[in-house]
A and B are shown apart, each in its own frame.
Chain A
Amino acid sequence: MTLSIRLSAIALACTAATAFAADPIKIGVDGPFTGGSSSMGVSMRDGVRLAADEINKAGGVLGRQIQLVERDDEAKNERGAQIAQELINKEKVVAVVGYINTGVGLASERFFQEAKIPVMNNVATGSVLTHQFDSQPENYVFRNSANDSIQAPMIVEEAITRRGFKKVAILADSTNYGQLGRADLEKALELKGIKPVAVEKFNIKDVDMTAQLLKAKEAGAEVVLTYGIGPELAQIANGMTKLGWKVPMIGSWTLSMANYIDNAGPGGEGARMPQTFIQEPTTPKRQSFIISYLKTFAPKNNRMDSPVSAAQGYDSVYLLAAAIKQAGTTDGPKVKDALENLKAPVEGVVTTYNKPFSKGDHEAITANIPVFGEVKGNRVVYAYADDFKKASEVRVKDVNAKGALPTAKK
């Protein structure tokens, strides 16, 4: 009697296990695949697809295939919140990768936090993103992009220390991204004892930047620091051409977006921005990534629309897969614990992730990793020859790296 119960229990467990093994692992992919941010969103998605495909071809994770559930948030905060609930309640995803727009990330994360589902933020850079839940015992939000508290001081360092400009103007868009970035830029400038001579704002879809640029020009700015996305950044460059006022543009990594480079044309050359990845085959891993990306998605002129997004998207899936493998389960809290204590290093495109996260540190990228890129001949190249020469030495995470702003606890 007991034996038969025990046997049937074992049989049940076996069938459950086999059904379990056949089930794919569902991972949500959220990003803007339409609109002004789409070059980042689509490149990120393509990077994610490439990684998932490679993992599946190699047998999947825990013997299960990865299934991507892709959703377009249109860069709208409220859309992101809806998608988060759909991914949790309807699709029952194990984890989610993505988020390009800081505002969308902020609006969506709390649903995953409540549902105990890990979020791997692979593009959005708002400093506050990984600190929304600092007050709670567990934080499910991770990031493998260079956040604004790293980027803003890098931009300031480049403008003030390396190139010796004294008078700076800040032009930022009116979204969460632009305004949080502007605040970080002002903080970083303050540390250098500099107050910007002009701080101007513009809206998404603005077609004329005359007023903003004239204010910067009148204030005697020698350099314009930007925080915005491609199309409007291009209008800034075009506006400078129109006013016949040409000063260097240094800004957040979005100056590498294809829709900035294409729409600004010759006026956009020379713009510099921090980059975690530049489309150059400097390591074998990067080379194979670039080759298979170009082969699979065939972007125009063999130029990735947003190389940084593609590389970070690719790496985010590998980080997650490593954590699921280590946890031996897709259970949210256990995957989170595994991410916080990854034992084996993960070789990615951006860097080799050796213990990228810990309990109190959910940022995989530190201030020593990004380099400066420059728009030259319609693509992004290394701004400094030294960085290019040393690019084959992969820069790994250094928690003691100097240069980042102290992140304000929320």
Chain B
Amino acid sequence: MEILTQLIFSGIALGMIYAVIAFGYQLTFATSDTLNFGQGDALMLGALVGLTLVGMGVNYWLMIPIVCVFGAIQGAVVERIGVRPAIRIKSEFGWIMSTIALGIIFKNVAENVWGHDDLKFPSPLPESPIRFLGANVLPMEILVVVGAVLMMAAVELFNRKTIWGKAVVATFNDREAARLMGINTGLVITFSYALSSMSAALAGVLIAPLTLTGATMGAVLGLKAFAVAIIGGLTSGMGIIVGGIILGIAEKLTGFYLSTGYQDVPGLVLLLIVLAVRPAGLFGKTAIKKV
């Protein structure tokens, strides 16, 4: 039982890391039907900028808002350079290539600025584990889970309560109609990219003390998060969290009970099943009704 609890806790912590990144995919998909495939690299940039700030003596908690601003600017740049031209000419696939290309550029820049090695991100919380329900949990893991939930709640609240948020939802529902109603849809899309990269940058500094920090840290995580976004549904915030947790726990349980050589398999099998049975994702439809 203790083992199972430990595995589930580790799975949840890992799953929430995936979910935070997947959340960024969802944000841009909601306004423009496009995805930022450089999401993993936005996360990596956030973590490395954060590391530099911490190295300069900035307090971890003070550093977070600075990294968020950096992430927002980076996201806006990606949208202006890579996505807007593709949307303007109604290109179906242009944005895929351009966001991937920008991601690679960011990675190469990071390699030149921060070097090629994996670096240690100093943990702002104690690194000794806490006993909880018979299992060990790191304080940092709790911070990731809490931070992720808070961030998603904040964005969700923003969308429902503020006039800006309503513009975002309107743009998602019908871009043309929203434009006719006087909403600057172009700006809304830029904004959603900024928000998406901001969440990725925040995710970066949240998870960096747990993972290692380096130019290549985003690649595997970005891919896993994409699977989570598909499993949970690209239109549902709830789906992202549940999808992340399912994938995280599935990996850990398979690793322990089956074989660690196969721990990546169940998540991908699940992805295939979801695509075959419910292409909109586990929670895709209900969310559409809700809006």
Contacts and interface: CB of A to CB of B under 8 A. Distances in A.
Interface stretch (A155-163, A204-212, A353-361, A364-372): A204-212
Contacts of A35: 116, 216
A258 B118 CA distance: 10
A222 interface: no
A132 interface: no
B98 interface: no
B80 to A, nearest CB: 30
A333 interface: no
A251 B233 CA distance: 43
A34 B111 contact: yes
Contacts of A202: 260
Contacts of B252: 208, 210-211
Interface in B178-233: 207, 210-212, 214, 216-217, 219-221
A210 B211 contact: no
Given A201-B260, A214-B256, A36 B118 contact: yes
Contacts, number: 84
Interface stretch (B6-14, B68-76, B87-95, B239-247): B6-14
A203 B263 CA distance: 10
Nearest to B122: A265
A36 B13 CA distance: 24
A304 B171 CA distance: 56
Contacts of A174: 261
A39 interface: yes
A255 to B, nearest CB: 15
Contact of A205 (B116, B117, B219): B219
A246 to B, nearest CB: 12
A34 B116 contact: yes
A263 B212 contact: yes
B120 A215 contact: no
B216 A205 contact: yes
A259 B7 contact: no
B260 A212 contact: yes
Nearest to B216: A35
A200 B254 CA distance: 13
B156 interface: no
Given A38-B116, A244-B129, A211 B7 contact: yes
A21 interface: no
B260 A243 contact: no
A241 interface: yes
A33 interface: yes
Interface string A369-383: 000000000000000
A242 interface: yes
A234 interface: yes
A262 interface: yes
A114 interface: no
A258 B212 CA distance: 14
B255 interface: yes
Interface in A223-239: 230-231, 234-235
B118 A231 contact: yes
Contacts of B127: 241, 265
Contacts of B256: 211, 214-215
A46 to B, nearest CB: 14
Interface in B65-123: 111, 116-120
Contact of A242 (B119, B136, B212, B219): B136
A31 to B, nearest CB: 12
Nearest to B137: A242
A241 B129 contact: yes
Nearest to B121: A263
B6 A210 contact: yes
Interface residues on A, range: 20 to 34
B19 to A, nearest CB: 15
B216 A262 contact: no
Interface string B254-286: 111001110110000000000000000000000
A348 B214 CA distance: 35
Contacts of A33: 116
B3 interface: yes
A242 B259 CA distance: 21
B255 A234 contact: no
A243 B136 contact: yes
A230 B221 CA distance: 19
A205 B263 CA distance: 13
Nearest to A217: B3
B128 interface: yes
A39 B10 contact: no
A259 B216 CA distance: 14
A234 B119 CA distance: 11
A230 B261 CA distance: 20
B151 interface: no
Contacts of B221: 207
A231 B212 CA distance: 7
Contacts of B259: 201
B264 A203 contact: yes
A218 interface: yes
B68 to A, nearest CB: 23
Contacts of A262: 119-120
Contacts of A234: 212
A200 B260 CA distance: 6
Interface of B: 3, 6-7, 10, 13-14, 17, 111, 116-120, 127-129, 136, 138, 207, 210-212, 214, 216-217, 219-221, 251-252, 254-256, 259-261, 263-264
Given A38-B116, A211-B252, A211-B256, 8 more contacts: A38-B117, A201-B261, A205-B219, A208-B252, A231-B214, A244-B129, A259-B118, A263-B120
14 contacts: A34-B111, A35-B116, A174-B261, A201-B261, A202-B260, A205-B217, A210-B7, A210-B252, A211-B260, A214-B6, A243-B6, A243-B136, A244-B129, A263-B212
5 tightest A-B CB contacts, nearest first:
A211-B255, A210-B10, A34-B116, A207-B211, A211-B256
